[in-house]
Structure 1
Amino acid sequence: MIINTSLLVNNPEIIKSLLDGSMKRYGSVIRWASGTENAGQIVRHLAETPGLTDKLRDLPFSPIIGGVDIIGHGMNYHKLIGIEKTLSSVMGLTQIAAGASVLNLGVSIAGFAYMGYKLHQIQKSLGHLQHSMEAGFNRLEAGLNRVEEGVNRLEDSLNRVENRLDIISGQLAYLYLLVEDNRQKQQSLAKAISHLHQAMLIKEIAALNAELDDRKRFPNESSRESLKVASRVRLFLANQAIQITPALDAELMLNTDVSIQGWAVATATEANLLLEIGKHQEAKELLAVEVPKFKQVAQRWGDELICDENSYLSTAYRFANTRFQDHITTERTERIIDISPSDHTLSSEQIQRKKTNVDVEFTMSHSSQLDQAWTYRQIAIAEYLDTLSELSARLDSLQSFAALCESKNIKSSREILPDSNAKTGLYILPPNE
């Protein structure tokens, strides 16, 4: 390597600043926090070791087993990267929606293996979801037809449906929350998923997944074919994601989710391949086009899903209310605020006013109308928007990494990343010159 990398745990100055709030993780970089003298300026880039990829595969996802309070926690990195749980929380790593894990925290080329794995998980999750729901519906119908035989048998049938739904992968948990109280909607969703399996979305993701697997097997081969596939998939999935009009509808959100995750992976793959072969300017130009479009899509969804018929609750700050304290962490709320245009630029006084209005609404007598189904929908919305915000931040920080590679005048991004012999963990790279 032409520059030194070091483990994050070996830098007490940065750790102290993260803990006291003067620095903040944003995507794959650490920046000076707002309110500091150098607010927004990059302090360090983050990169994961190649060996971490395989270990991440062994971590469980966050299915809906055990109640909604664990939904969307995603992967707990702190055990693998050697940082204290407190620091993991400060860095916002304790509740990242699993969908956002399609991009690993760092920018290592070795992350391709993990990207490919996550794409496979998307397909696998859809398969599990379809099979589980269809099997559950069949048993539920049989139970309903035999309702005269006793309520107990019906309850057993319903329990089996619930148990089968528990295998849904974490990045699709919001689907369960959105439709769990609507059997007719569940049946409609099952049909939509069946159709989705035959759609071009899955074909394109499968093509990119195959290319990533090939890249892993033959890392020293020419990247031309990989670049062509990544570019094609990026263009197709971006078009699919952009043309969809946001709405709180499970079927629509599922289709968009697959398109957006695939778009993010394809974009990151193409950019990283360009950086690996030293085409820094091309990578910067690609990201300069894709990142703003991605952010715009994220903000459109933020506008739509944060909106509520109660104007006082039409704010991302509703997720900060104590009503959700067991389900939505502070860092998740902060990430959602980042893609909420109506909340992102508020002054401290306006923020406090928003929070006060939310508190009042939740304590009013009419708040009893906000039942468990409503609460489930809010948790689902929070997870969905968190995914969009985190992906947006990671793609944005990839722009900064491309600028770093160019400023160092290196032939390949591999030269400034931890190699295969590096100790497993989270490394920091110096800022742009």
Structure 2
Amino acid sequence: MLQPTTLLINDPSIIKGLLDGTLVRYGSVIRYAAGTEKGGQIVKHLTEVPGILDVLKLLPASPASPLIDTMGHGLTYHKLMGLDRKLTGITNQLFGIEKTLSSVMGLTQIAAGASVLNLGVSIAGFAYMGYKLHQIQKSLGHLQQTMEIGFTRVEAGLHHLDNKMTEGFNVVIKGLNYLDDRLDTVSGQLAYLYLLVQDSRQKQESLAKAISHLHQAMLIKEIATLKAELDDRTRFPNESPRQALKTASSVRLFFGSEAMKVTPELNAELMLNSDIAIQGWAVATATEANLLLEIGHHQDAKQLLTEEVSKFKQVAQRWADHCLNQDNKYLGTAYRFDAPIFQDYITSERIERISQISNSDRCLTLEQIQHKKNEIEVEFEMSYSSQKYDQNWINQQIALAEYLDTLSELSARLDTLQDFAALCEAKEVKSSKELLPDEKSQPGLYLLPF
């Protein structure tokens, strides 16, 4: 029997709490804000209806863009909330309220990669995860092609430089022709060694490329396997989920292993492969857990999530600590993104999410946070700052902020999926479907019975 659900925009108390700051969104739940009497306690769970899928697909596919369009996400979210007047007939006044809500819920600047988990756990969620996996695969191919073009240009530049250097060496060699013939013998030996080194370097580069392409092919294969299973599940939702569970488990183990074995490093190709593995891990974990909840295996879902969420958080924190500690000690914090040079690119909600996966920031008091901000302000006012922290550095930081935001949001979504599993068990439902809105419900975000 379906439990009654409430459209978010129809609950004034939740809206008021989000607007005045006593409530906050974390992953797929709404909680009392830290510092309040019930700080951290869950107020409501969030989910969506299948009709929201087409709107979600409008979100950008690649989390690599350094200059994310905040307003674009806001407008997309307004459509996601069912605020298009052609669909809902919501008044202009209510539209204004929801426009503000998209900000206070922390949905105006979430890295696109984090949207692979959606806000819900319905069959539409499976379809959307399959869609996102396809987008990830396309992005991977596009980035590889772009990188190869870039490498070709660099190689051409190096050849040009090599030719110039060769001309210079020829001039020098002409001036040394009077040396003893014994030097000719040495020169010949050096030339031989040079050829050996060149041959070795070319072979190493060739081997490295082959290994990289093989690794990416393995990632794509696993993505394709899971996507095919998700597509099949969407087409035949009433079939036994056993094969889908088996596939999700296999893909989860593969991607989890790939994500955990990577040592964080600011290397484009390594970060790309790691990002694909992490997102694939999150999707596969969410898929497996949702399928278990759908057939009433609450304990199995809880055990799975307990194990995977702990490991996922460790990976997220490891990346955060590495990325945030590349500069001097004053900037080794997520709150460096609060500096004026980032105000047009990084919102405060993104900074707050990143701080949640930073070991040095997560438990800071308001006084300690302000102290860090003061130190950062002084650092950026130093005479050397304009040269040391130039536009290239700023662009890199914007990209890192989005990368870390993805990890934080995915971590929160998986974390709150544990809460949903606990809710299913507490309600003693035979299937998680009993807690979700039916397919005839109006598109939008819903508050689940709690």
Report the TM-score when normalising by structure 2.
0.81
User: Aligned-pair distance for 1:411?
Assistant: 0.8
Q: 3-state DSSP class of the match of 2:361?
A: helix
Following superposition, the deviation at residue 298 of structure 1 comes to: 0.5
Q: How does 1:206-285 map to 2 (within 5 A)?
A: 206-285=224-303
Residue of structure 2 aligned with 1:419, choices 438, 446, 449: 438
Measured after TM superposition, the shift of residue 196 of structure 1 is: 5.5
For the residues of structure 2 that align with 1:128 and 1:402, how far apart are their CA atoms? 37
User: Which amino acid in the other structure matches residue 417 of structure 2?
Assistant: L
Matched to 2:323, the amino acid is: L
1:12 paired with 2:12, answer yes
Contact 2:61 2:113 in 1 (8 A): no
Cα distance in 2, alignment partners of residues 308 and 197 from structure 1: 27
* Aligned position for 1:23: 23
1:190-240, Cα deviation, whole Å (9 max, x unpaired): 958971675322211111111001111111111000000000110111111
Judging changes above 3 Å, is the alpha-carbon distance between structure 1 residues 207 and 383 closer, same or farther for their aligned structure 2 residues?
same
Q: Distance in 1 between matches of 2:366 and 2:268?
A: 34
Partner residue in 1 for 2:342? 324
| 1:179 aligned partner | none
TM superposition shift of 1:63: 8.2
**Partner Cα distance (2:62, 2:311) in 1:** 29
Number of the residue aligned with 2:34: 34
Whether the 8 Å contact between 2:63 and 2:112 is mirrored in structure 1 is no
Cα distance, 1:307–1:141 mapped onto 2, change above 3 Å? closer
Distance 1:199 1:234, change over 3 A: same
- Structure 2 residues not aligned, in runs of 5+: 84-94, 162-204
1:104 is aligned to 2:118: yes
1:72–1:98 CA contact under 8 A, matched in 2: no
Which protein is bigger by CA-based radius of gyration? 2
- Tell me how large the CA RMSD over aligned residues is: 2.5
The TM-score with structure 1 as length reference comes to 0.84
CA distance 1:314–1:109, shift in 2 (3 Å):
same
CA distance in 1, matches of 2:399, 2:71: 9
2:406 is the alignment partner of 1:387: yes
Aligned equivalents of 1:416, 1:365: Cα separation in 2: 59
Number of the residue aligned with 2:369: 351
Output aligned runs, 1:369-380, within 5 Å.
Answer: 369-380=388-399
Distance in 1 (alpha carbons) for counterparts of 2:104 and 2:274: 30
CA contact 2:77–2:107 (8 Å) conserved in 1? yes
- The residue type equivalent to 1:412 in the other structure is S
Q: Say which SS state the counterpart of residue 122 (structure 2) adopts.
A: coil
Determine the C-alpha separation between the residues in 2 that align with 1:361 and 1:320: 13
Identify the residue that residue 90 of structure 2 maps to in structure 1: none
Distance 1:64 1:250 in 2: 10
8 Å Cα contact 1:32-1:43 kept in structure 2: yes
Identity over aligned residues, as a percent?
Answer: 68
Asked whether the equivalents of residues 73 and 97 of structure 1 are also in contact (C-alpha less than 8 Å), the reply is: no
What is the alpha-carbon distance in structure 2 between the residues aligned to residue 38 and residue 358 of structure 1? Answer: 33
Report the counterpart of residue 340 of structure 1 in structure 2.
358
1:268 shift after superposition:
0.2
How many Å separate the matches in 1 of 2:313 and 2:63? 27
Return closer, same or farther for 1:98/1:69 CA change in 2, 3 Å cut-off.
closer
Question: Higher relative contact order at CA 8 Å, sep ≥6: structure 1 or structure 2?
Answer: 2
- Given residue 142 of structure 2, which amino acid in structure 1 is its aligned partner? H
Tell me, in whole angstroms, the C-alpha distance in 1 between the residues paired with 2:366 and 2:11.
Answer: 32
The offset of 1:133, in angstroms, is 3.9
Rounded Cα–Cα distance in structure 1 between residues aligned with 2:144 and 2:391: 25
Question: Deviations along 1:141-188, whole A, 9 cap, x unmatched?
Answer: 7799999xxxxxxxxxxxxxxxxxxxxxxxxxxxxxxxxxxxxxxx99
Distance of aligned partners of 1:129 and 1:287 in 2 relative to their CA distance in 1, 3 Å threshold: same
Provide the C-alpha distance between the structure 1 equivalents of 2:60 and 2:371, rounded to a whole number of angstroms: 40
Tell me which moved more, 256-265 or 307-316: 307-316
Q: 2:198 aligns to what?
A: none
- Structure 1 124/236 Cα, relative in aligned 2: closer, same or farther at 3 Å? same
> Letter of the aligned partner of 1:223 in structure 2?
P
Q: Which consecutive aligned stretches of 4+ in structure 1 deviate over 4 angstroms post-superposition?
A: 59-65, 71-75, 135-147, 190-194
Query: What residue in structure 1 maps to residue 80 of structure 2?
Result: 80
What is the one-letter code of the residue matched to 1:256?
A: S
1:90 corresponds to 2:104: yes
What is the aligned counterpart of 1:360 among 378, 392, 395? 378
Shift of 1:427: 0.4
State the Cα distance separating 1:68 from its structure 2 match. Answer: 2.6
Summarize the Cα distance change of 1:303–1:138 in structure 2 as closer, same or farther, 3 Å threshold.
closer
